[in-house]
Structures are given as C-alpha cells and as structure tokens.
Amino acid sequence: MKLPNIKILEEHNKLLRMTSKEATFPLSNQELRLIDDMITYLTMSQIKETQQKYNLRAGWGLSAVQVGLLKRIFVIVEEVEPGSFKNYIVINPKILSHSEEKIYVGEGEGCLSVNRFTEGIVPRYARITVSAFDIDGNPYTLRVREDVAIAFQHEIDHLNGILFIDRIDKKNPFKGKDTMREI
C-alpha cells in the first residue's frame, strides 16, 4: 500500500471554517481519486506498521474540506476487527433524526486537522439516522451508533465549517459530563 499524496489542512486554515457545497453527480475523476486517497490514508493510519513507517496519527474520518476540496463529501474507515475495515463513503449527508441520549469520548475527541491535545468533552448524540448518496449518486439512509455516530457528527460538522474544539465549553470544558454517557 502506497501512502497517498494528500495534505491535511491545519486548524488555522480559513477553508476549514467555510460551509462546503453540495457535490453533483457524476463525481469528477478528481473527486473519485480524492475519496480513494482519503480511504487509503485512513486505513494506513490505523495499521501499526504503516502508521509508524510514515509517522501517521491514527484517524477514522476525513472530510473533503480537510484536504482542500469544499464539497459535502466525507469518508469513515472503521476497523471492525484487526486488519479488517469497513468504509463509509458519505456524500451530501443530512441528519434525519437523533437519539435523546448524549455521549462523549472519554479520552477526548481528536482531529487530523487539530495537532494538539485539547481538554474537554464534546457532546454528541448516541445514535443518528442519516440520508446521503453513495459514490454513484444512489440515495441511502443509514442508522449509526456509538463511535461511528460520533465520527459521522464530527465529519458533518467539518462540512459546516465547525471544528470539534468549537463544541467544548471554554469556561467549563467538562460541562454536562454527568448528564452524558462516556464511551
């Protein structure tokens, strides 16, 4: 597996604060290549050997805006068992519904565009139902939960110009912790 030549934008880049535009079908060759590259990068970042070889931070998700394309596209790569990955390609997503229950990542949420430790919790819904399109423009609906739901919400935020650090209460970084479930 060869490391793709993509550059992940850092948090100070103004593009990350912009709202991404709807993708149109058929996707361009550039968009298709970018989706493949994001999936390859995320997969390699979760495999110990390639992570160490290329000095990669582990990541689950990337949105197109993080690699410089202002389109409503993101990918999630979930390791379902050691060495086995499930890829989600999500285009023009909309959250249709969500649970009342809120959760947060105990060790803190991270982001490939935020290269620093950030203390605090990011409240997220435990379950969400999303409508989106696949790579060929076919509509689908998907219900995701727990870690995958957090990843989806994190990436949808990117498409709306929001970073996870914006969701941490500046005055009280652990505000509401006792009303949510840690995962």
Rounded to 5 degrees, φ, ψ at 53 are -60, -40
Tokens of 69: 């394309």
Is 182 one of the catalytic residues?
no
Report percent pLDDT > 70 for the chain: 100
- Give the CATH H-level superfamily of domain 14-182: Peptide deformylase (3.90.45.10)
Give the pLDDT mean for 66-91.
Answer: 97
Domain ranges of the chain: 14-182
**Catalytic residue (one of 100, 101, 155, 182):** 155
Band of pLDDT at residue 41, cut at 50, 70 and 90: very high
| pLDDT at position 1 | 84
How confident is the model over 137-178, as pLDDT tens digits? 999 999 999 999 999 999 999 999 999 999 999 999 999 999
Residue 48's region, left for phi above 0, alpha for psi from -120 to 50, else beta, is: alpha
Band of pLDDT at residue 71, cut at 50, 70 and 90: very high
| pLDDT at position 167 | 96
Pick from 163, 147, 9, 7: nearest CA to 86: 147
